[in-house]
Amino acid sequence: LIRILFSAGNGDWPEWEDPLRAALAHEGVAAELSAELPPGEADLLIWSPASAIRDLTSFPRLKAVFSLWAGVEKVPGLTTLTVPLARMVDPGMSAAMAEWVTGHVLRHHLGLDPVVRGLKGEWRGLPVPPPARSRQVGILGMGELGRAAGRMLSGIGFPVTGWARHGADSAFARIESGEAGLARVLGAAEILVLLLPLTGATRGLLDAARLQLCRRGQVIINAGRGGLIEEAALLAALDTGQIGHATLDVFAAEPLPPDHVFWRHPKITVSPHVAAATNPATAAPALVANLAGFLRGEGLKNRVDPDHGY
């Protein structure tokens, strides 16, 4: 009998218990799943950074940790973790993210904002967008979420270039790597989508110098992590017109404070971290399938590499 401790944020257990139990039964895992198991008895830990448990090294029997969050930058002691940690990869979240990104890319592509805000009686010609096939979209980060978004955007007709640590061109995107590749993606994209994890290598990636490499008037859509962009540098680049608009779903501090300048900036759209949420209905089966494979000795999928931080 495998003992699994669930420890996440307040209110998470009622949401997750049934889908996790159903998935364990479906996978044929004989397990005791509980949110009240003594830490010393836990073989496996299903956990999120919202948990009260902050030290993952103190479980004598622990074999692996399964994160409920896709982003692991808030995992304490990540670099000293002695058991493997699996990131959440939720197919439902990938689909939701692709829809959200595509919706905002089309919103900017089509110039919908004045229409949504209301033209108030003014019948006028609006700028005619070029065809999607001549509008370059760049995606920084081509993991599960970046690939899902790129596939959908390419399907609509946008030429997509991705930037990744490594990787080959795919049917739907050209892939660039390294600093020179980043400069090419930034310089070519009319619309730039950020879907990178936050790591030592990506924190502050879009700083003043790199924002100067962006195509003039570029629209930035950040659905990754707030820390990817230096706030002061972004504000300066919006002021000069170097960046045309920023649609931000993530922020260095969340919730974004009510008096933060982003809220009322005419060139910033604030989306309150709603792009894509983990959905227990699709995430629990994915997590438990990974857990069951691990117990069968097939190795852990979506395993976090502490050196890379994701």
What is the CB neighbour count within 10 angstroms for residue 178? 12
* Dist CA 270 CA 211 (whole Å): 19
The residues in 127-146 that bind a second copy, with binding defined as CB under 8 A, are 128-129, 131-133
Q: 3-state class of 305 per DSSP?
A: coil
Concerning whether 273 is annotated as a catalytic residue, the answer is: yes
CA dihedral (23, 101, 234, 169) in degrees, to 10, reads 90
Active-site hit among 107, 203, 265, 273: 273
**DSSP secondary structure letter of residue 142:** -
Q: Of residues 271, 293, 295, 301, which one binds a second copy by CB under 8 A?
A: 271
**What Rg do the C-alpha atoms of the chain give, in angstroms?**
21
Catalytic pick from 87, 135, 215, 225? 225
We find the least distance from the C-beta atom of residue 66 to a second copy, in angstroms, to be 23
Q: Does 113 bind a second copy (CB under 8 A)?
A: yes
How many helices (H) and strands (E) would you count in the chain? Answer: 8, 12
Phi, psi of 86, rounded to the nearest 5 degrees? -105, 130
Strand, helix or coil for residue 286: helix
Report d(CA 224, CA 196) in Å as an integer.
5
Does residue 170 interact with a second copy by CB under 8 A?
no
Rule CB under 8 A: is residue 277 a binding residue for a second copy? Answer: yes
Q: Which of 24, 72, 256, 300 binds a second copy (CB under 8 A)?
A: 256
According to CB under 8 A, which one of 28, 125, 171, 297 is a site residue for a second copy?
A: 125
Among 25, 126, 201, 232, binds a second copy (CB under 8 A): 126
52 near a second copy, rule: CB under 8 A: no
3-class DSSP assignment, residue 215: coil
Q: Which residues are catalytic?
A: 225, 273
Residues that bind a second copy in the complex, under the rule CB under 8 A: 92, 95-96, 99-100, 102-104, 106-107, 109-110, 112-113, 115-126, 128-129, 131-133, 152, 155-157, 254-256, 258-260, 263-264, 269-272, 274, 277
